[in-house]
């Protein structure tokens, strides 16, 4: 196949993986200056492959591969060759798959899918993603794909769906794209009578509700991508097999967020920055982390084993102990606070934790507790926060912040080797990791402070008197 890239013609044998790789390399090289952020994002977190044999009739789809911790984007190079794709059309299709993941569609629309609105959900997701691709690459590419009988969702599709359901009140296209989030449109359509899994003129279904483009190899019409195939690859690594689907999705969400924050500090184009703002508006958190709840847990742990029966403050030092009217007051167990810095906790929330802990730890001349920063590939102990650091990016330069993944066994191993005296542990984490409780008997109490909602499996595994689990994630009123 001959493809014109950057005003030069190149020939690729797309029937072979080496030809597919050469095409992608040339494509990314040619567009790296125009789309530096998204090209780098693709290279950092995605693996582009040919479609699997069992899905050879699909044009494109995505799977989350937890073993490699990469997003697998599957493209049908054979069909794209038959349709004589241009360089821009190749890029459009790749960006379409990437943006579904960049806007966390696999997670944010999950509840609608479970409630029976999967077809409507697909339509709304595709409308916004195609609109974003039009902004980046150009609406003419979308029109060219439609002329090649590759179906996509546009404003007319949404308008037809509204007319089909006798819905009034849909904004004009410009207002819809600029002022309405994808979730707002979804709720609008549901609240105004769109039925569960009701057919539309452009959803790729036949009259029997089957996927038209997956039925026969000779089918002319194709959908831009197949949402029904966008799933999670079956884990082969034993450590990943006990992770729930929600846990895997959350891991990828956080991975995208970490890479995004790293890349956004570098170069990006004007059109790309517009999508950053769009994403920020779309995913404004509807929750906050109750830092005060965490602070109370720490203060309570520091105050344990104290005798409060004394009436007067007559006291004198006896070594390291304080005697109050003959009643002995001893300090609590040595307190260890672990912070998950694997990328699971957002930079903003991590900043809040560290600032609060630093403030507590500096109240006395002697530090009150040890702080352990942990991920799956590194453990760093610091008595306190670095005093010369003003934000998380500076913190990252110190080599503490890690994107290596989450594995609590490394943290537990460190606790077992480092501390022999009785200790109390507070572990701040999202809770998405392979469970482990191989702990020495000197750990008197272990508090999990979760930044996500508590799952039933987590609760069941960490049951017993030693463990205490608190979620500090709360919905905004």
Using one digit for the tens of pLDDT, what is the confidence trace for 145-202?
Answer: 999 999 889 999 999 888 888 888 888 888 888 788 898 899 888 888 787 775 443 4
pLDDT at 132: 92
Q: Phi first, then psi: what are they for 437, rounded to 5°?
A: -135, 40
pLDDT at 427: 94
Reply yes or no on whether the pLDDT at 203 is more than 50. Answer: no
pLDDT at 175: 83
Within 10 angstroms of residue 313's Cβ, the number of other Cβ atoms is 7
pLDDT at 340: 84
| Span 7-25, pLDDT tens digits | 899 999 999 999 999 999 9
Nearest to 402 by CA among 212, 245, 254, 273: 254
Co-location of 243 and 339 in the same domain: no
Reply yes or no on whether the pLDDT at 311 is more than 80. Answer: no
When pLDDT is cut at 50, 70 and 90, the band that residue 454 belongs to is confident
Co-location of 259 and 314 in the same domain: no
Q: Give the total number of structural domains in the chain.
A: 2
Tokens describing residue 380? 């760093």
| Span 42-71, pLDDT tens digits | 998 999 999 999 998 899 999 999 888 899
For residues 246 and 458, the answer to whether their CB atoms sit within 8 Å is no
Q: How far apart are CA 83 and CA 77, in angstroms?
A: 10
Q: How far apart are CA 359 and CA 372, in angstroms?
A: 16
Within 10 angstroms of residue 394's Cβ, the number of other Cβ atoms is 12
Co-location of 270 and 393 in the same domain: no
Q: Looking at residues 199-206, what average pLDDT do you find?
A: 44
Co-location of 156 and 94 in the same domain: yes
Task: Mark which of 261, 282, 303 sits at the end of a domain.
Answer: 282
Nearest to 415 by CA among 434, 443, 435, 436: 443
Co-location of 218 and 322 in the same domain: no
Within 10 angstroms of residue 471's Cβ, the number of other Cβ atoms is 18
User: For residue 251, what are the domain limits?
Assistant: 2-282
Tokens describing residue 210? 């089957």
For residues 228 and 205, the answer to whether their CB atoms sit within 8 Å is no
CATH of the domain at 372: 3.40.50
Co-location of 153 and 300 in the same domain: no
Q: Looking at residues 353-370, what average pLDDT do you find?
A: 69
| Span 89-110, pLDDT tens digits | 999 999 999 999 998 887 888 8
16 - beta bridge partners?
none
Co-location of 270 and 408 in the same domain: no
Co-location of 271 and 294 in the same domain: no
| Span 27-40, pLDDT tens digits | 999 999 999 999 99
Task: Mark which of 264, 282, 300 sits at the end of a domain.
Answer: 282
The SS3 call for residue 316 is: strand
pLDDT at 223: 82
Those residues with Cβ within 8 angstroms of residue 30's Cβ, 6 or more apart along the chain or in another chain: 5, 6, 87
Co-location of 301 and 404 in the same domain: yes
Reply yes or no on whether the pLDDT at 380 is more than 80. Answer: no
| Span 256-293, pLDDT tens digits | 887 887 776 667 788 888 888 788 777 766 667 888 88
pLDDT at 469: 95
Q: How far apart are CA 23 and CA 90, in angstroms?
A: 9
Co-location of 438 and 462 in the same domain: yes
Reply yes or no on whether the pLDDT at 412 is more than 50. Answer: yes
Task: Mark which of 282, 317, 343 sits at the end of a domain.
Answer: 282
Nearest to 167 by CA among 141, 185, 149, 143: 185
Query: Which bin fits 246, alpha (ψ -120 to 50), beta or left (φ > 0)?
Result: alpha
């Amino acid at each position: 196949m001959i493809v014109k890239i950057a005003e030069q013609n190149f020939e690729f044998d797309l029937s072979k993986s080496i030809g597919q790789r050469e095409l992608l390399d040339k494509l990314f090289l040619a567009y790296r200056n125009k789309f530096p952020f998204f090209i780098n994002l693709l290279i950092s977190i995605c693996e582009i492959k040919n479609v699997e044999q069992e899905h050879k009739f699909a044009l494109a789809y995505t799977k989350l591969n937890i073993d490699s911790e990469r997003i697998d984007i599957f493209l049908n190079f054979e069909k794209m060759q038959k349709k004589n794709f241009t360089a821009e059309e190749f890029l459009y299709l790749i960006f379409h798959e990437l943006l579904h993941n960049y806007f966390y569609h696999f997670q944010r629309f999950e509840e609608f899918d479970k409630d029976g609105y999967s077809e409507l959900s697909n339509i709304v997701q595709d409308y916004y993603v195609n609109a974003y691709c039009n902004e980046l690459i150009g609406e003419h590419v979308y029109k060219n794909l439609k002329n090649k009988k590759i179906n996509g969702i546009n404003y007319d599709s949404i308008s037809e769906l509204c007319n089909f359901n006798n819905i009034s009140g849909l904004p004009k296209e410009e207002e819809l794209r600029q002022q309405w989030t994808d979730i707002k449109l979804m709720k609008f359509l549901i609240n105004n009578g769109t039925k569960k899994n009701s057919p539309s003129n452009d959803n790729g279904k036949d009259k029997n509700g089957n996927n038209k483009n997956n039925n026969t190899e000779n089918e002319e019409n194709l959908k831009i991508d197949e949402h029904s195939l966008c799933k999670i690859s079956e884990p082969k690594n034993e450590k990943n097999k006990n992770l729930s689907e929600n846990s895997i999705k959350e891991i990828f969400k956080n991975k995208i967020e970490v890479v995004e924050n790293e890349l956004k500090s570098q170069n990006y184009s004007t059109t790309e920055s517009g999508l950053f703002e769009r994403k920020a508006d779309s995913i404004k958190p509807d929750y906050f982390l109750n830092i005060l709840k965490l602070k109370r847990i720490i203060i309570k742990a520091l105050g344990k084993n104290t005798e409060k029966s004394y009436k007067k403050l007559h006291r004198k030092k006896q070594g390291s102990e304080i005697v109050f009217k003959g009643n002995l007051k001893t300090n609590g167990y040595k307190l260890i606070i672990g912070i998950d810095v694997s990328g699971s906790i957002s930079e903003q929330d991590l900043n809040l934790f560290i600032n609060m802990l630093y403030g507590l730890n500096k109240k006395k001349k002697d530090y009150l507790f040890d702080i352990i920063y942990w991920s799956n590939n590194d453990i760093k102990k610091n008595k306190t926060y670095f005093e010369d650091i003003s934000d998380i990016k500076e913190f990252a330069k110190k080599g503490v912040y890690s994107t290596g993944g989450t594995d609590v066994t490394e943290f537990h191993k460190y606790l077992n080797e480092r501390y022999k005296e009785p200790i109390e542990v507070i572990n701040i984490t999202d809770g998405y990791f392979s469970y482990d409780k191989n702990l020495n008997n000197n750990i008197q109490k272990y508090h999990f402070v979760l930044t996500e909602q508590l799952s039933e499996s987590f609760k069941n595994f960490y049951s017993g008197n030693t463990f205490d689990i608190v979620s500090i994630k709360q919905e905004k009123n």
